[in-house]
């Protein structure tokens, strides 16, 4: 199973109707809206979460 990077749902790669290619990799989506959001700004969804650091640590 793949994870839809937009909504975080699990998507079966074998039956997914919505997919996009970006930088040589295939990404799978649960719905056309998620695919559209990814295609408009893929780097937003590929960013790794920044490490949390609060002011008191």
pLDDT in tens, the chain (57 residues): 999 999 999 999 999 999 999 999 999 999 999 999 999 999 999 987 666 566 665
Q: Is residue 23 part of a domain?
A: yes
What pLDDT does residue 48 have?
74
What pLDDT does residue 57 have?
52
Q: Is residue 57 part of a domain?
A: no
Please say whether the beta carbons of 19 and 46 come within 8 A: no
Q: Is residue 52 part of a domain?
A: no
Domain count, the chain: 1
What pLDDT does residue 47 have?
84
> Residue 41 has which token pair?
């700004």
What pLDDT does residue 49 have?
64
Q: Is residue 55 part of a domain?
A: no
Question: Which residues span the domain enclosing 34?
Answer: 2-46
Burial of 19 (0-12, 13-18, 19+ CB in 10 A): middle
């Amino acid at each position: 199973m793949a994870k839809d990077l937009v909504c975080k749902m699990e998507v079966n790669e074998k039956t997914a109707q919505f997919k996009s290619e970006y930088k040589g990799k295939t990404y799978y989506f649960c719905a056309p809206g998620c695919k559209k959001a990814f295609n408009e700004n893929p780097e937003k969804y590929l960013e790794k979460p920044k490490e949390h650091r609060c002011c008191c640590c």
